[in-house]
Amino acid sequence: MTTTHCPYCSLQCGMVLEGRRTLEVQPWAEFPVNEGALCRKGWTATGLRGHRERLTTPLVRDRATGELRAAGWDEALDLVAGRLRALQAEHGKDAVGVFGGGGLTNEKAYSLGKLARVALGTSQIDYNGRWCMSSAASAGNQAFGIDRGLPFPLADIEHTDVLVLVGSNLAETMPPAARHLDRLRENGGRVVVIDPRRTPTADRADVFLQPVPGTDLPIALGLLHLIDAADAVDEEYVATRTTGWEDVRRTAAAWWPERVERVSGVSAAELRELAELVGDAEKVMVLTARGAEQHAQGTDTVLAWIAVALALGMPGKEHAGYGCLTGQGNGQGGREHGQKADQLPGYRMIDDPAAREHVAGVWGVEPSSLPGKGRSAYELLDALGTDAGPKALLVFGSNIVVSAPNATHVAARLASLDLLVVADLVLSETAALADVVLPVTQWAEETGTMTNLEGRVILRQQAAAPPDGVRSDLDVIAGLAARLGHDFATDPEEVFAELGRASAGGKADYSEITYDRIRAEHGVFWGTPRMFADSFAHADGRARFVPVEHRGPAEPVDAAYPLHLTTGRVLAQYQSGAQTRRVRELPDAGPFVELHPMLADRIGAYDGRPVVVSTRRGELKAPARVVDTIRPDTVFVPFHWVGANRLTNDALDPSSRMPEFKVCAAAVTA
């Protein structure tokens, strides 16, 4: 019997694995975050163990036939290291790019960053967290001086008065967390959901607003307008704990409710009702997720919602404030230990001389040998194979061709590389394009830490032996490093201790956390569980109001593409689907197009029959799902299957570099 955590989302639900050969998932009732509950994906998580599609040998593309063939580990790693060295000799260090993932353990993310900065000397590393919570991170840094998804434990939800969920469908994306909404309502609290679709989460709401995609920012400005007009601003808090309110107040003054209604489709009456609800409440908690954040103006949108929370005097108050519901298993830790283009371990910035000196000291290299800032995820992919861009890419923990925006373009960039190397458990759509595929262990077969959405560092413990022929990412990274002349640790606990030293004194300081403490305490928070009670992380201790204006989606609708396309998730599938589409017990019906009966009528579409969604970038033919829960001017496609991202727009947020996954202009025909 081994206690561990689910391989998927940021809730990192605790579970018990029983057995040695075949593993059975059992509840771990004592683990506080999920109290024994799991969603369907968690209960079936062992479905990939022993799966016939599990990779168990390295694969190398045969030059003569163009096919992937089995190879030995030494052959594969020698080949990769040799080609990387040759490409760097010819084109310089930045000829090699590295792409990581927010599903990797802290130890792996740390080693991958070190591989890039020390063994390869390249600045070109980034990861799929840019697709995920980077806009909230960027807003959190600006407003609070620190980026921690939730600055309070998730269960605090139950004790607030009004919970505002902006673009979160947590009943489907973190099902065990939905019990907090139920308990909040039992306690007399209210739940507000803002989503263009009436989701299972909205079904649990007392107030549901159904805006046009991409208009959460004007809704926030409209609320600020009304809160100010009603004298509901916490003047004392604003005066003593924040700066910048007057500028935001001036912007909000121009967003009277009728103007918000024209832009967002949310009626002035609904907005007034919501302003009154939050204005009168003692404790208000605002949580954003991908619906509000995955926009070319995602950072500004989060800043506007943070401004609402600040104007009401909430951040730092018990059971109130602002938080972002991070998504991936290690969405929080994955961004703290150095796989982001501008960061070193401990959430240190790579262009800060003191940070470089500290981390170089731990790594035993000269600070001047560390590269500078690299390209962000999409910019990195967009540059692949170009004159100035990387000629080789190493991918650990992301299925890029399914999950990146404007995927046809991204696939072409990957095809233009001299060398694509993918480490994965299965032959994902991206691995299938690689020159070298390296088979790795999966969660139940290895040990490592993850940092959940609350900043709680938890321990996944090995429950079973990996299949023969498979190596852990830490082994693979160390194997490459060794061939490039560097000695990296492979024991997870040893890597964690090194990560602790590298992060010591940084914003996310893990130096006091040990595996033993995590085991004894059901996870250990870095920093404190509840932040901002006395001060914010800026030098003056104050939070910032940052003035923002509404620009609207990068690609507005027009006569040729009159509908808003938005994308997202369904309960039973995870991300690019590389793992969950292979789990037999999970339904895998393929992509579908959700549309309203009025729209279906107009174009002659029928439930279950194919429709074609087209955008300026591509087309997708898939069955229609006719539902009255979506806005009539909006269509929704889940991205767990190939296709959705051939449609999406690669417009980026200027500050976070997050792509606009959540809205573009589309046409639909039957």
Ligand X SMILES: Nc1nc2c(c(=O)[nH]1)N[C@H]1C(S)=C(S)[C@@H](COP(=O)(O)OP(=O)(O)OC[C@H]3O[C@@H](n4cnc5c(=O)[nH]c(N)nc54)[C@H](O)[C@@H]3O)O[C@H]1N2
Read off the tokens for 423: 């480490």
Considering the complex, what minimum distance in angstroms separates the CB of residue 289 from ligand X?
A: 3
Residues 6+ apart with CB under 8 A from 318: 156, 159, 283, 530, 533
Closer of 42 and 279 to ligand SF4 (Cβ): 42
* Footprint of ligand X on 328-387 (CB under 6 A): 328
Question: Which one, of 242, 277, 136, lies nearest residue 546 by Cα?
Answer: 242
Report 452-511 residues binding ligand X (CB under 6 A): 473
Q: Looking at 191-317, list the stretches that DSSP marks H as alpha helix, in order from N- to C-terminal side.
A: 216-229, 235-241, 245-253, 257-264, 268-280, 290-293, 298-311
Geometric angle at alpha carbon 31, from 28 and 37, rounded to 5°:
55
User: Which span (170-178, 190-198, 537-545, 580-588) binds ligand SF4, by CB under 6 A?
Assistant: 170-178
Nearest to 378 by CA among 356, 398, 350: 398
Contact call for residues 109 and 474 (beta carbons, < 8 A): no
Q: How far is the CB of 358 from ligand X (least distance, A)?
A: 28
Q: Output the CA–CA distances (angstroms, integers) from residue 666 to 271, 341, 559, in the order listed.
A: 28, 32, 10
Query: Which 3 state secondary structure label does DSSP give 134?
Result: helix
**Under 8 Å CB-to-CB from 464, ≥6 apart: which residues?**
17, 19, 20, 21, 23, 49, 444, 445
Smallest gap from Cβ 369 to ligand X, in A, equals: 27
- Asked if residue 17 binds Mo ion (CB under 5 A), the reply is no
546 binds ligand X (CB under 6 A): no
Q: How far is the CB of 172 from ligand X (least distance, A)?
A: 6
**Residue range at the interface with ligand X (CB under 6 A); choices 375-383, 413-421, 510-518, 564-572:** 564-572
622 binds ligand X (CB under 6 A): no
Q: With CA atoms as reference, report the closest residue to 477 among 498, 491, 459.
A: 491
Q: How many residues bind ligand SF4 (CB under 6 A)?
A: 14
The values of phi and psi at residue 245, to 5°, are -60, -40
Q: Which residues pair with 628 in a beta bridge?
A: none
The stretch among 20-28, 37-45, 323-331, 397-405 that binds Mo ion (CB under 5 A) is 323-331
Euclidean distance between the first and the last CA atom of the chain, given in angstroms as a whole number: 53
Nearest of 260, 276, 277 to residue 268 by alpha carbon: 260
Binding mask 126-165 for ligand SF4 (x = CB under 6 A): ----------------------------------------
Three-class DSSP category at 623: strand
654: its two tokens: 């200027």
Closest distance to ligand SF4 from the beta carbon of 333 (Å):
15
Q: Which is nearer to ligand SF4, 4 or 294 (CB)?
A: 4
Binder of residue 113, out of ligand X, ligand SF4, Mo ion, none (CB less than 5 to 8 A by kind): none
Burial environment of residue 26 by CB neighbours within 10 A (0 to 12, 13 to 18, 19 or more): middle
Task: By CB under 6 A, name the one of 126, 195, 435, 454 that touches ligand X.
Answer: 195
Taking the complex as a whole, how short is the minimal distance between the CB of residue 211 and ligand X, in angstroms? 6
Instruction: Considering the complex, state which of residue 6 and residue 205 has its C-beta at the smaller distance from ligand SF4.
Output: 6
Q: Which is nearer to ligand SF4, 11 or 165 (CB)?
A: 11
- Does position 396 interact with ligand X (CB under 6 A)? The reply is yes
How many degrees, rounded to 5, is the angle at CA 523 between CA 522 and CA 526?
150
Q: Does 662 bind ligand X (CB under 6 A)?
A: yes
Partners of 209 in beta bridges: 194
- Residue 399 interacts with ligand X (CB under 6 A)? yes
Our CB check for ligand X shows the closer of 360 and 434 to be 434
CB of 132 to Mo ion, least distance (A): 3
327 binds Mo ion (CB under 5 A): yes
Closest C-alpha among 199, 395, 203 to residue 290: 199
Whole-number Å distance between alpha carbons of 364 and 482: 15
**What does the radius of gyration of the chain's CA atoms come to, in whole angstroms?**
24
Within residues 95-154, the interface with ligand X by CB under 6 A covers 101-104, 128, 131-132
Report the site for Mo ion in 221-260 (rule: CB under 5 A): none
Binding of Mo ion by 13 (CB under 5 A): no
Q: Binder to Mo ion among 132, 289, 407, 557 (CB under 5 A)?
A: 132
Minimum CB distance to ligand SF4, residue 572 (Å): 10
The residue with its CB nearest to ligand X is: 327
Least CB distance to ligand SF4 at residue 50 (A): 20
Strand segments (E) across 59-159: 59-61, 68-70, 96-100, 125-127
Q: Interface with ligand SF4 includes 334 (CB under 6 A)?
A: no
CA pair distance 426, 210, nearest whole angstrom: 39
Beta strand residue intervals within 354-435, DSSP E: 392-396, 419-424
17 vs 217, beta carbon nearer ligand SF4: 17
Instruction: Count CA atoms within 13 Å of residue 651 on its CB side.
Output: 18
Q: Which two tokens stand for residue 321?
A: 């404030």
Round to whole Å and give the CA distance between 622 and 566. Answer: 15
Q: Is 612 left (phi over 0), alpha (psi -120 to 50) or beta?
A: beta
Residue 204, number of CB atoms within 10 A of its CB: 18
Report the residue from 2, 503, 579, 615 that binds ligand X according to the rule CB under 6 A. 579
Residues 630-649 that bind ligand X (CB under 6 A): 636, 639, 644-645, 648
How many residues lie near ligand X (CB under 6 A)?
63
Instruction: Return the residues of window 5-24 that contact ligand SF4 according to CB under 6 A.
Output: 6, 8-9, 11-13
Task: Judge contact between 106 and 457, C-beta under 8 A.
Answer: yes
Contact characters 275-314, ligand X, x per CB under 6 A: --------------xxxx-x--------------------
Q: Which stretch binds ligand X (CB under 6 A): 151-159, 302-310, 509-517, 572-580?
A: 572-580
CB of 578 to ligand SF4, least distance (A): 15
* 41 lies in the binding site for ligand SF4 (CB under 6 A): yes
3-state DSSP call for residue 221? helix
**Stretch of residues binding Mo ion (CB under 5 A), selected from 129-137, 376-384, 464-472, 642-650:** 129-137
Residues that bind Mo ion (CB under 5 A): 132, 327-328
Could you list the residues that contact ligand X (CB under 6 A)?
9, 101-104, 128, 131-132, 166-170, 172-174, 194-197, 199, 213-214, 216, 289-292, 294, 327-328, 396-399, 402-403, 423-426, 428, 440, 473, 566-569, 571, 573-576, 578-579, 636, 639, 644-645, 648, 661-663
Residue numbers of the site for ligand SF4 (CB under 6 A)?
6, 8-9, 11-13, 34, 38-39, 41-42, 174-176
